Structure 1
Amino acid sequence: MTKDYEVAVIGGGLLGSAIAWGLGRLGQRVAVLDEGDITKRASRANFALVWVQSKGLGMPAYTGWTVRGSKAWPKLAAELREQTGLDLALQQNGGFHLTLGDAEYEARTNLVARMHNQTGATDYKMEMLPAAEVKKMLPLIGPEVSGGSFCPFDGHVNSLRTFRAFHTGMKQLGVDYLPERPVTAIAREGDEFKLATPQGELRAAKVVLAAGNANQTLAPMVGLSAPMGPTRGQIVVTERTMPFLPHPLTTIRQTDEGTVMIGDSKEDELDDRVQNHPINAVMADRAQRMFPHLSRLNVIRSWSGIRVMPTDGFPIYDQSETHRGAFVACCHSGVTLAANHAFDIARMVKQGALEAELVDAFSARRFNSESGASGSGYY
């Protein structure tokens, strides 16, 4: 491992592979250092949504960032399909957050109003629809559905195929993927970084920390900060069924293969080897109340996964003032923001600096005067 690289990306999950693919696309010599499949990948716990609604309460810049990512997704899907031949099954015809009963509908209506009333908020056309209007778009909703919010920018993809496409594309672009290479130390020496791994040392002119929850440990090595609060989420998958869900929901989506994914949980637990079955029961109960058709289906698998969560819920993008050429990227919306990471973050890393507007909004310096605002969703 003596080859020099222009950029070393630490982390080969959805975030790191998107950035690495973007850098390879720009002609950079890139190495991806990854713990490999033994790591607790957040990619295993994502819900595959390209999601805009509800994003950014307390941070309007995040709303704009997600809208930007949503609009760029068709370009990303087209480029990856042309390069790799893999269809990412992007469906982007709008999504719902459904409510059960009048109290939930009122609470959601108040949230939508707060989102729209934020100073500097991006107009992303989220609106509340009563049950009668929802039923025109989702005919199989149950009688308890009182309505919900709809956003035309929302959609979903096949996230496993997206992950595969990034790795296939990286290889074709000459990016070196180095699995089972956890980084134990980073040091700046002259005009390059020295990255220590159990298999030896690697040198690169720049380094991007995209290692999920491990960024919390890696960031201080290059004068950065990545305050994280990882959480556990659970997902349930049913057997294949007839097409019945033409729009994805925050908590339910029908995949391109016909199965139905159900997921809406957040626990302060870091053990992904077990599941909290009462939580699965609550998720399944709400899902079948929204769509009675689901009560006839068998559950074929379920699992839990550890998700990446900055402590206030919003992304962190930063560059080091003491270790020039070091960058950090943290987010829990790796699917939604994949196009931004592939096209925008990669471009900025190649140029050697993040755009000031991005740093002003998403630098970890905000935690020095944290307001307690919170992000939303795991997409």
Structure 2
Amino acid sequence: MYDVAIIGGGMVGSAIGFGCAERGARVAVLDEGDVALRAARGNFGLVWSQSKGDGMPAYAEWTRRSVDLWPALAERVSGHAGRDTQYRAVGGLTFCLGEAEYETRKTFVQRMHNQGQHGLRMLDRAELRDLMPDCPLGPEVLGASFQPADGHVDPLTLLRGLQAGMRKAGGAHLPGAAVRAIEPVAGGYRIDREDGTEVAARRIVIAAGVMTTRLAAMVGLDVPVRPVRGQNIVTERLAPLLPLPASAIRQTGDGTIQIGVTSEDDGSFATGTSTDALARMAARALRVLPVLAQARMVRGWAALRPMTPDGFPAYAESPTHPGAFVATCHSGVTLAAVHAGTLAEAILAGALPEAARDLHPARFLGVPHVPAQ
């Protein structure tokens, strides 16, 4: 019997599995494999705090805690991956095109400042030029918000490193089949999979992205999660253009320009791209960096984000199935460090951390969460 079985091998499940295995637990990560509707495939790669937690201080603090833990995580995970994760905490921007966008963002930054967001500030065009003197910004870019603590990373190398580190610490990665049932047994739980295999564990964590709602119901939890599609574009490798990552456009460590992402909330589980959406993203990117008109698009792709009703993460332990936890969010990269750290440690101790109390899904039912004594 495993100490912990994590259902879901994406960014959230892999980070929790890595953190538990690092702490000496016998861990199994159950994963559908390449057929899974995995947000980790399409993640934009930002380690981002500047837009997180408006109206939800607990999420803002949870995010800041993770950003603080990221340098140590990046070092460990790069070693396990066998290559640099390309984590760079160089600061992050949200560009504003035109006066209306600039004023709207300025108001948002003030609001976040009033809610305790430190370091976030607005830059006008002259200040942007001072910050990035060689960046060929388009004439419509009037400024940007800037958070020095933000940065970016190669998300695929991150996922590879988390899983490799988990295996190195003795954990098991078990891809290839979906979960069809979770049943209590003496000392824990039995997980039945569609290929006929069974996994037994003392504790379980459901971190299955857009499949979370169905699986959470098996342990008595109501965790509403819907799929929100996001599309991305990546160009050919280019000479250095954009030294800082920005919301919806960044230059990766390999030199490609990544452009995204849409937010298509129609309830569909479709993962295809659409010409209209890709064209809109490309058009905005050209307004930011007109020189991209000469760049060739290499590919476009889409993935599904798991989104709760208010867009914030949800963490819970089942009141009817002690030792059965749920963790879901659409910020798997940014929160990877806190998932591998604070959350993994708390799960092994048998209770969610105090910092996650206000992120319980009971809020969707309009009732306060009262933790078990």
For normalisation by structure 1, the TM-score amounts to 0.93
Give the corresponding residue for 1:67.
Answer: 64
**Structure 2 matches for 1:1-379, cutoff 5 A?**
4-117=1-114, 121-138=115-132, 139-198=135-194, 199-269=196-266, 270-359=268-357, 361-369=358-366
Q: Report Cα offsets for 1:111-166 as digits up to 9, x if no partner.
A: 1112222xxx3333110111111122233211110111000111000111111111
Measure, in 2, the Cα distance between the counterparts of 1:274 and 1:336: 25
The sequence identity of aligned pairs, in percent, is: 45
Gaps of 5+ in 2: 368-373
Query: What secondary structure is seen at the aligned counterpart in 2 of 1:96?
Result: strand
Distance 1:74 1:207, change over 3 A: same
Letter paired with 2:309 = T
Q: Figure out how many residues of one structure are paired with residues of the other and give that number.
A: 364
Q: For residue 183 of structure 1, report the CA deviation from its aligned partner.
A: 1.0
AA partner of residue 300 (structure 1):
V
- Residue 292 of structure 1 and its aligned partner are, at CA, apart by 1.3
Q: Distance in 2 between matches of 1:140 and 1:52?
A: 26
Task: Say whether the 8 Å CA contact 2:210–2:304 is kept in structure 1.
Answer: no
Per-residue Cα deviation, 1:168-225 (whole angstroms, up to 9, x for no partner): 1121111111111311111112321111112222211000001111110011111212
CA contact (8 A) 1:239 1:259 kept: yes
**How far 1:65 sits from its partner (Å)?**
1.1
Please say which of residues 49-58 and 181-190 is displaced more in the overlay.
Answer: 181-190
Runs of 4+ residues deviating >4 angstroms = none
Deviation readout 1:65-97 (Å, 9 max, x if unpaired): 111111111000111233443211111110000
Shift of 1:273: 4.4
SS of aligned partner of 1:353: coil
Q: Which residue of 1 aligns with 2:370?
A: none
Cα deviation, residue 327, structure 1:
0.5
Unaligned stretches of 5+ in structure 1? 371-379
SS at match of 2:179: coil
For the aligned residue pairs, the C-alpha RMSD in angstroms reads: 1.5
